[in-house]
Amino acid sequence: MKVKDYIHERVEGGTMHMTLLDPAKQSPERAAEMASVAEGMGTDAIMVGGSTGVTQENLDATIVAIKRKVKVPVIYFPSGAHAISPYADALYFMSMLNSAALENVILQQVAAAPIVKRFGVEPLSMGYIVVEPGMKVGEVGKAKPIPRSEPGTAAAFALAAEYLGMGLVYLEAGSGAPQAVPEEMISLCKRTISIPLIVGGGIRDAETAARVRKAGADIVVTGTVVEDSDLGEDLRRLIQAAKGTS
Ligand code: 1GP
């Protein structure tokens, strides 16, 4: 089954949770262990990526190790065309819509497209929208983050993504953000678009995950909390709260 169809099927049945692992932050074996524990707790897919420090070597090794241990799809979440893995089940073929740098809007994608085709990795078209504070990805991506007080601006970006033919929208507060994307912004985007809505950045506990889900996220992404966790009951509670199965 294509990863696109898997996502559509899952979001029909309720909110998904995806676990983000940065290949630069731990060994491939440790990443595979974390992915396997998260899968056992109900995570629906593993995303692999990071804003800095991702190399072809650590990316490939991490994806290969994870794929040996889990059955859920492994999706590459790229920061550019410098590293693309043939081992991922899919990759987000994404444009940072509110970047001031043409590189991040379209030029990296032009560089990557022929490689993705040659590797035969499934591209998942996605409009990436950075919301304040944006953190590292906002900085590296030269984003003009959407002010937290402007849900209408975020919704207009999200609708533009849908009208451009993109299959997913990702509202990103930035990894490690002190606060998640505001609920009002999530719910307005959800009401405005008809493609699945991904929300990530700053979701560290079950309560926040539940709020993000109830506001309208179709897919809740957590990264830092998994890296920092002892892979125990708090993580299970968070994943279940994100999915509404707790
Ligand atoms: C970053 O949205 C993801 O791209 C995850 O953010 O690390 O804060 O969970 P966190």
For 162-192, the pLDDT digits (tens) are: 999 999 999 999 999 999 999 999 999 999 9
Instruction: Give the containing element (helix H, strand E) for 28.
Output: helix 28-40
The residue among 158, 163, 220 whose CA lies nearest residue 191 is: 158
Task: For ligand 1, say whether the CB of 199 is within 6 Å of any of its atoms.
Answer: no
The pLDDT value given to residue 147: 98
**Ligand 1 proximity of 222 Cβ (cutoff 6 Å):** yes
Q: Hey, how many other C-beta atoms are within 10 angstroms of the C-beta on 40?
A: 12
The answer to whether the CB of 175 is under 6 A from ligand 1 is: yes
Tell me the CA–centroid distance for residue 225 and ligand 1, in Å: 9
CA of 184 to the centre of ligand 1 (A): 19
pTM of the model: 0.98
Q: Is 79 in the pocket of ligand 1 (CB under 6 A)?
A: no
Rounded mean pLDDT for each run of 10 residues along the chain, 246 residues in total: 98 98 97 98 97 95 98 97 97 98 98 98 98 97 98 99 98 98 98 98 98 98 94 96 93
Residue 141 Cβ inside 6 Å of ligand 1? The answer reads no
